[in-house]
Amino acid sequence: MLILILGIAAVAFIAFLVLRVICPASYDGVLDAHDFFTFMAWTFGLVILGLIIAICWISTTVATESTIDSKIEMYQEENANIEEDIDRIVREYLKHEQDTYADLKTEESSITLITLFPELKSDALVQQQLEIYVDNNAKIKSLKEEKIDIAKKKWLLYFGK
């Protein structure tokens, strides 16, 4: 859309420059067609400059779209590794505390089990892993939002999808 508007503004700019040359200037102190066409040429020149700046700014964010999916995948892989580490820690803890928690279902999520056991929740390694896990989920969410915003910017830039 901005590219289309840029094209229209460029045509108008050129038209006003041509009309400015065609209409002679009168130097009697009264505003005439030449002055109007000069004003309009300057106006469209500034509009073109603003559109070029906007197109360059939006294009830089649209160009990053190809990396978003790989970033999301990287954070999801890291979260999967964290879940495996936490699962291992929980299994080891459950083996150790098997007598105390004999009727506990081990099919539950390891993240859920951590919240049930204060000893696990206070473990520094588990706490650090949970913080990284939560941070990664927040980053994944922001990357997905950025991807949605890029779709909007593509439409604004050139009616793209």
Give the separation between CA 148 and CA 104, rounded to whole angstroms.
42
Digit-coded pLDDT (tens) for 42-91: 999 999 999 999 999 999 989 988 899 999 999 999 999 998 888 888 78
Nearest Cα residue to 41 out of 25, 23, 19, 22: 19
In this prediction the pTM is 0.63
The structural domains of the chain, with segments of one domain joined by +, span 2-63, 66-158
Digit-coded pLDDT (tens) for 90-144: 787 777 666 555 555 555 666 666 666 666 555 777 778 888 999 999 999 999 9
